[in-house]
């Protein structure tokens, strides 16, 4: 926690925080919850390896890219996910350490995710969000059900 957010362990919270270390390529069962989390190394500076996450529970799969430019590890992280939540910082402009929608859209058939929600969008991407037909743009208060 200190590696990503210096000083954060000294902040008093009104709720408990339990940290579980995730190593790339080693799925982790989260206690007795029936949740399994796998991490995949992506490309974004953070002080420790940045990971895309694949979360499996009750036969459903949720994948999250996190901040990253395109890396092939995203293929495995999102493979056949019921829901892929991906950053799409720009529509097609390449920005180091961030995904663009054009690249993501090109790779989607190889990933095979059933549903896509975009997040971490710049004004460029937000201005086009209402025109997207093959995915949904995240917004504050969005509630998602994975059926």
Q: Mind listing the pLDDT tens digit for each residue in 69-84?
A: 999 999 999 999 999 9
Average pLDDT (109-123) is 96
pLDDT at 6 over 90: no
Q: How high is the pLDDT of residue 47?
A: 75
Query: pLDDT exceeding 90 applies to what percent of the chain?
Result: 77
Alpha-carbon gap, residue 59 to 33, rounded angstroms: 13
What pLDDT, on a 0 to 100 scale, did the predictor assign at position 29? 94
State if pTM tops 0.95: no
* pLDDT > 80? residue 3: no
pLDDT at 33: 87
* Burial of 67 per CB tally in 10 Å (0-12, 13-18, 19+): middle
Structure tokens at 105: 């859209």
State the pLDDT at residue 147: 79
CATH architecture type of domain 23-137: 4-Layer Sandwich (3.60)
Strands (E), the chain: 28-30, 35-41, 51-57, 60-64, 83-87, 116-119, 136-137
pLDDT in tens, 32-71: 889 999 999 999 988 788 999 999 999 999 999 999 999 9
Domain ranges of the chain: 23-137
Supply the pLDDT for residue 5. Answer: 78
Mean pLDDT of the chain: 92
């Amino acid at each position: 926690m200190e590696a990503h957010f210096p000083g954060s362990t000294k902040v008093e919270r009104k709720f408990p925080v339990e940290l579980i270390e995730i190593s790339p390529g080693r799925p982790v069962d989260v206690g007795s919850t029936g949740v399994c989390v796998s991490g995949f190394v992506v490309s974004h500076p953070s002080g420790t390896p940045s990971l895309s996450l694949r979360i499996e529970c009750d036969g459903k799969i949720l994948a999250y890219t996190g901040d990253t430019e395109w890396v092939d590890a995203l293929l495995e992280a999102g493979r056949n996910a019921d829901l892929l939540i991906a950053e799409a910082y720009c529509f097609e402009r390449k920005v180091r350490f961030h995904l663009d929608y054009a690249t993501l859209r090109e790779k989607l058939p190889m990933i095979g995710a059933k549903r896509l929600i975009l997040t971490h969008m710049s004004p460029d991407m937000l201005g086009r969000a209402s025109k997207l037909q093959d995915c949904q743009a995240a917004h504050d208060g969005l509630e998602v059900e994975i059926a």
